[in-house]
Amino acid sequence: MSEYDFHPLVKQLLDGDITIADLPAELRAEGEEALRLLAAVDRSPVALPAVPQRVMRALTRTPQRSLRWLLAPALALAAALVLWLGGGRSHGPIAAPGAVVTVHFVLSAPDARAVSVAGTFNQWDARATPLVRTGANGMWTATLELPPGQHQYAFVVDGVRWVPDPTAPAVDDGYGRRNSVLTL
């Protein structure tokens, strides 16, 4: 995470969406400073592990701050990762009718005996989409192809415990619990 908090327009400059000339005069000094910092970044080649491993490592890092107050210790981490199919898109989902989006669900539940994900995409069937335990650190994963739109879901631990994804937005489920929201 960057320690610099640039103006959103300066961030667009760093993303290459605009040029320094597009910035308002009062932001140009900040833009030049941001470009100077960017130029100083070491761009020497780095050997990266395969994408799934990088994804998993990122998942093990990012949500831990929120877990302390969200979940019991047995559930240390959860996330739904969205991977766009169709290639070549720089942003946004597939708008073409019939397209699907690959979503990777991940939950860390070291003490769980079984984990599944249930939601609007599988008629809330707690047995339809089991997660698979991967590795020795209690990570559970499942990959689904979902249509674009809004989906609600929750993880089901040991067949009885409904747990929202702590890294996703959530809404009232009408039953005293929360459903996680996935908008594709």
Question: Which residues of the shown chain bind another protein in the complex (CB under 8 A)?
Answer: 1-2, 5, 7-9, 12, 17-19, 21-22, 24, 91-93, 95-97, 118, 120, 123-126, 149-150, 162, 169-175, 177, 179, 181, 183-184
In the complex with another protein, the residue whose CB is nearer, 8 or 88, is 8
Q: Which two tokens stand for residue 168?
A: 């996703």
In the complex with another protein, the residue whose CB is nearer, 34 or 138, is 34
Closest separation in Å from C-beta 98 to another protein: 9
Closest separation in Å from C-beta 105 to another protein: 17
Closest separation in Å from C-beta 132 to another protein: 21
Closest separation in Å from C-beta 58 to another protein: 13
Q: Which residue has the tokens 């991977």?
A: 83
In the complex with another protein, the residue whose CB is nearer, 27 or 142, is 27
DSSP string, 17-78: SS-GGGS-HHHHHHHHHHHHHHHTS---------HHHHHHHHHHHTTHHHHHHHS-TT--EE
**What separation in angstroms does the CA of 31 have from each of 6, 16, 18, 25, 40?**
8, 12, 11, 10, 14
In the complex with another protein, the residue whose CB is nearer, 122 or 143, is 122
Residue 182 φ/ψ, nearest 5 degrees: -130, 120
